[in-house]
Structure 1
């Protein structure tokens, strides 16, 4: 290979890659020259090489320091995905390289264009220009050839290369975000039209898909060295945890941090003088210390060392790892921030502000939709009963939507708030981290406790948790986001789900210096999630269980891949590279299938005359307990009877926001509820309804309405289903005078104690 013999640096240039997808022409470039052994005598704090095969020219920009003196020989190795396909020794004296034969100590600033021979260009395979996120590198050992240390390696440098093709694409980010967002919005719209069963299925699948996207983002946030294709793939989903770069917002966050006593990171401002190495694999010299950096700086002239020392102290203070060559290594959360173009000190504020923007935007959209509905009804553009449930209780619906957004945003805020505790970027940001983490945790914990309280009361009073959970519209609209995706008997499953998110967040935030611990922790957590989902099968029906269990399986496989990437098994580098490609292909195919399923389901819901008919009735009979305001034709006295049958209490709402979450308040509420229910046994409410239309059978027994499904006839009766026995004789006499004997229950009465 004549090219390698003539120009060692050109060999690196010819196999380097530029990670810039906007350029259409084929290129190979590298932006960092890293040391690969301790006490390396040749270090480069800046190394940028771009090779363009169209004109066979390599542009080289290097700032390096050499402490080697004497005759040397270069041992060059070129590998891709861990497989070494070129290994050759080059003598600089034979090719007449000035300053390298023999090598002399000193600073080496270079910036020049280097012509590349046609023979050297033919050595590069064509696939190197097209395969995305190429995992290749050039490693050069510098060995002495004379003196007592002949044959000893005095320096080792390597350059990672890329071809500009990547799977980290803006189109993928927008497509996944829009599909997930539109599916959630569609479920709310369909629910407003009265198709609760179809809406709950679409919402459950959309939330599960969004959770899968966040799980992909969490893989990239771990401090485990990842192959390039895995880093790029996980970067596609960082939007799901609020990591989105907007230029003017970054300027505001930097100003805010300075104004509140913090010291912003300036890593991007230092790229002209310092290389940044994105950690891709575990290195043998993991214990790189600042002492090596100090020695490398000490060899520079004073005019160079003073600004570099200031910059080094600033970057090191922000937690960046500095190599002996003076370049910096970013990993884990900092790696994601660097690839997103965000300073690590701005990452927390970026995610926080996007969460706040989502909350504000959603609130404004719901309020605007309420106003538009009222205007449309007033102008006659829309029927008066369209979206009636939403228009009558839009504020309660808004509360439920905000609670759902809190649940969606909990993973990102848990990770970055906990991480901020370890960073302490500024006093104000620490206060925000404490407020949002504990505020969201307490809010979701309180909501889960309300669901459990309501479900247990329903079990005690009706021997079925679904009675009150799905018949009380206020509880369903506000707290339903926690349990509608589960079957009624698994209402409690939101608690282990929240614990699952919290534990994963802790591993990511607190173990940024221990990648292996993160991998082991992920395996334990994902295995527990898979076992729990497979054994309990808590979701609403078979298809939803299959959808979510498949996601758990993929998350568990990804955790195993993470453990392989830590190289604890000492596997060949080729195995690590292949596993990275397998992870990308498997997850890309899986995500595509999930997206297609969600798109098809959502489209069918909109174009089917009866969307609810597409889904089988769930075993918990939730649809029979849901009441729709559009079917409600009785008076407020009937509402009182219905509330009594569901277990609600006069003067006390099961879902009262003013209720304290203390146990004393709960006991007080239960005593008040018992007193209210007992009062209805002896003193039935006076109704202005025509006695010719009785509420109960003439014989005082609770008989099903004609044509009522047999499944409902066989259900155990509610303790309040035989209230006719407690009515006064006069009222029963009026009922007996009815020619029909009784009237069939209206749709909202079925399953609420009237059947």
Structure 2
């Protein structure tokens, strides 16, 4: 039975499709000056246009330093393309506050309905009401009606209420990732090594690309609406979830530790929050937003603060939200493993299957497995702590949060560096004794259980690629955290980082098979293209805004298509789990020597028996060609061969996808529980 890939693709495509809106509308809630004359100041602005009844509702609170009769020239830009130009007379539209414009007088329009039945609105195509995250800007040139001279200009971003940022899609992806991690644990316990390895790789590749998309959304660049919403969809992978009770806890914590909670979300009716500022006219200036005052104003949020605002998270609660979410996921996952520890052995004893009972591990092994789960989750959460934990050092919400951020980031960094050091130490030992790093890295269950998550997805000879990946994650986190005030510098450095990582991935091609390398290289290419797009979004090249609109659409479609391919690739792994069908073997034993070192069914594969015994071939089982041993006989191992196999604590091979915590007595414990040659012990 073949897995219906088209079904998974169709479900994901439907999940991304925007819902059909009950009421068609166009709306805007931010009016910003597009000139630096300061004639009009805005405290609050909002307009909602409903084509069904040909009316609009306008609310405005601001002040003008100009008096006289005015005319409004409207220019509509869609994805950077100038769609149309229209002129309006405020007196004809019966807007008393603008007919005429009064100097030094507060302009307050509170939800005033405007009748547009006499206005030709055929210039607005029907697709504008249904395309997700419409990138449209209305630019209003304020002209003197008597002299025809220009007074000032303002502009507003327009949206239609339809977006790709769907909560249901985010929840569905989160559940799938959780099931993938859980399936990896269960299949590992049941002893299906190859299946567990493939499912773990697919799950982490899928989750890693989601985290990459979320990190792009945290950049300080003024992003287009479609880019904002697409990257916003994956912010849950960085621990940002807008749960109300969690925000209450974070606000209380900030206040109780000496900080001052922000109040942007609670005062949106009094002032305008601007999430992006850009001009469609080359050379025109946009005034910076004013700070919030008692009388209102405009507040600009960008980068990490913009991400939090869109999820209804106050800026002072962003770090604590991510911090608490990480702990919640960690505790929940450990409770699931504890449940399996208590339930699975009992089921095995009651089961009539001898093999199921054989693969169950001892309680001490479960303890290591539980401790290893912590460190696998720490490696998954490292990108969010690099970005948000280090950003907290700049944002400084409270002294206690700064301490938590420093401790968490340092702890994760030290743990991962220690694990990388131990892997290199074991690989060096294996090279010294066996002329091959694969022997110890893939044959020693302790090494696999504790640190296998770092290298199990790579070819044996490319185990060192965990170092470039670690540095890549750390560098991106540093740039996101410390360059929030410099969008251009941030974009340039990210482009350099993505270029280096793309070159390394293409040259080394470190992953375990061709399919894995293809997906990894495509992901690196897309990240490189995204870095180029974001550099153009900074408008450093002063290109036409239409170029930015095209790049916006390309960014969405390229990443969405690859996300769809990753989803299908990920769901195929579930097919292997459900059917317990082993994936096609992709490893080359003589060149990689990776699978040839794994313990299988209480014996080592006979290919490496001479390496294990350090003896010359006497029985004709193996023949030496240079430094490579090749089997020349298919004779099954005798009972004497099996009796000489080293003792191992597991009754069946368990894929170490969740490494345990290194402790001070790790080496002594390993020497007691595993039969490792004394020469290797002395070298360690």
- TM interval, short-chain normalised: 0.7 to 0.9
The CA distance in 2 between the partners of 1:717 and 1:162, in whole Å, is: 65
2:335 maps to 364
CA contact (8 A) 2:439 2:593 kept: no
Matched, 1:331 2:308: no
Question: How many angstroms does 1:219 deviate by?
Answer: 0.7
The CA distance in 2 between the partners of 1:748 and 1:575, in whole Å, is: 66
2:447 maps to 475
How do 1:457-476 and structure 2 match up within 5 A? Answer: 457-476=429-448
CA contact (8 A) 1:705 1:744 kept: no
Q: Secondary structure at the match of 2:340?
A: helix
The CA distance in 2 between the partners of 1:289 and 1:753, in whole Å, is: 67
1:734 maps to none
Q: Pick from 587, 593, 603: which aligns with 2:565?
A: 593
Matched, 1:47 2:78: no
2:201 maps to 204
Q: Secondary structure at the match of 1:393?
A: helix
Q: Pick from 372, 375, 383: which aligns with 1:400?
A: 372
Structure with larger Rg: 1
CA contact (8 A) 2:274 2:299 kept: yes
The CA distance in 2 between the partners of 1:535 and 1:409, in whole Å, is: 28
Alpha carbons of structure 1 residues 103 and 622: separation in structure 2 relative to 1, 3 Å: same
The CA distance in 1 between the partners of 2:45 and 2:676, in whole Å, is: 77
Q: Deviations over 1:269-310 (max 9, x none)?
A: 1101101111153686778458xx49xxxxxxxxxxxxx635
Question: How many angstroms does 1:390 deviate by?
Answer: 7.1
| Unmatched runs of 5 consecutive residues or more in structure 2 | 1-17, 630-636, 648-674, 678-684
Matched, 1:102 2:117: no
Question: How many angstroms does 1:479 deviate by?
Answer: 0.7
Q: Deviations over 1:670-720 (max 9, x none)?
A: xxxxxxxxxxxxxxxxxxxxxxxxxx89xx8443675x7x7xx657489xx
Question: How many angstroms does 1:152 deviate by?
Answer: 4.3
TM-score by length of 1: 0.76
CA contact (8 A) 1:627 1:749 kept: no
The CA distance in 1 between the partners of 2:95 and 2:276, in whole Å, is: 32
Question: How many angstroms does 1:109 deviate by?
Answer: 1.4
1:114 maps to 114
2:396 maps to 424
TM-score by length of 2: 0.84
Matched, 1:433 2:405: yes
Question: How many angstroms does 1:608 deviate by?
Answer: 4.7
Alpha carbons of structure 1 residues 271 and 34: separation in structure 2 relative to 1, 3 Å: same
The CA distance in 1 between the partners of 2:232 and 2:107, in whole Å, is: 36
2:9 maps to none
Alpha carbons of structure 1 residues 161 and 95: separation in structure 2 relative to 1, 3 Å: closer
CA contact (8 A) 1:137 1:160 kept: yes
With CA pairs under 8 Å and 6+ residues apart, which has the higher RCO, 1 or 2?
2
The CA distance in 2 between the partners of 1:220 and 1:183, in whole Å, is: 25
Matched, 1:191 2:188: yes
Matched, 1:133 2:130: no
Q: Deviations over 1:341-366 (max 9, x none)?
A: 10011000011111111111121111
CA contact (8 A) 2:70 2:89 kept: yes
Q: Pick from 456, 480, 487: which aligns with 2:459?
A: 487
Q: Secondary structure at the match of 2:120?
A: helix
1:625 maps to 597
The CA distance in 1 between the partners of 2:58 and 2:90, in whole Å, is: 18
Alpha carbons of structure 1 residues 235 and 390: separation in structure 2 relative to 1, 3 Å: farther
Alpha carbons of structure 1 residues 631 and 741: separation in structure 2 relative to 1, 3 Å: closer
Alpha carbons of structure 1 residues 419 and 382: separation in structure 2 relative to 1, 3 Å: farther
The CA distance in 2 between the partners of 1:560 and 1:748, in whole Å, is: 55
Alpha carbons of structure 1 residues 279 and 140: separation in structure 2 relative to 1, 3 Å: same
Question: How many angstroms does 1:552 deviate by?
Answer: 0.8
Question: How many angstroms does 1:214 deviate by?
Answer: 0.7
2:669 maps to none
Question: How many angstroms does 1:35 deviate by?
Answer: 1.4
Q: How many residues align?
A: 617
CA RMSD of aligned residues (A): 3.1
Deviates more, 1:76-85 or 1:449-458: 76-85
1:258 maps to 255
Alpha carbons of structure 1 residues 741 and 395: separation in structure 2 relative to 1, 3 Å: closer
Alpha carbons of structure 1 residues 386 and 588: separation in structure 2 relative to 1, 3 Å: farther
Q: Secondary structure at the match of 1:120?
A: coil
Q: Secondary structure at the match of 2:357?
A: coil
Alpha carbons of structure 1 residues 360 and 79: separation in structure 2 relative to 1, 3 Å: same
| Unmatched runs of 5 consecutive residues or more in structure 1 | 1-19, 295-307, 313-325, 634-641, 647-695, 719-739
Question: How many angstroms does 1:474 deviate by?
Answer: 1.3
2:618 maps to 703
